[in-house]
Homo-oligomer: A and B are copies of this chain.
Amino acid sequence: MTKQEKAAAILSDPRNQREEVQALQDTIYVICGKWKLPIINSLCNGNKRFRDIERSIPGITTRMLSRELKEMEANQLLKRTVTADTPVLVEYTVTDYCQSFGDIILEMIKWGKQHREKIRGEHSA
């Protein structure tokens, strides 16, 4: 069974749909919002400091970054570490738990690029 066949099978099996849709909506709930995945992506790119993350995500405001970081920390998707030296240094890192998102992020990046190409190609055609 190929991945595609498996996908097709799951998508067309009525008996599992409720559970599948529930799991999907759980995942969507966790990642929804405009900035959570870009933030995870930025952290995975090696950014740890608040301003570094902010600069690495075009268009985000300090307010939204602050809010999202707080919420994601509460959801155990990332860890906030303060080194008590002066000047105070704050570092954000993704948790192991968050790393399990890696596969999804890659698939979504892949799909997003393909999609952009596809839609653009057909508009110009």
Contacts and interface: CB of A to CB of B under 8 A. Distances in A.
15 contacts: A3-B106, A7-B99, A7-B102, A7-B106, A8-B99, A12-B44, A23-B108, A24-B108, A24-B109, A26-B115, A26-B116, A27-B111, A97-B118, A100-B111, A101-B111
A7 B115 CA distance: 20
B6 A57 contact: no
Given A3-B102, A21-B38, A103-B107, 13 more contacts: A7-B99, A10-B102, A11-B44, A13-B45, A14-B44, A20-B41, A20-B109, A21-B57, A23-B111, A24-B38, A24-B109, A25-B38, A28-B108
A17 B44 contact: yes
Contacts of A107: 103-104, 107
B37 A28 contact: yes
Nearest to A116: B26
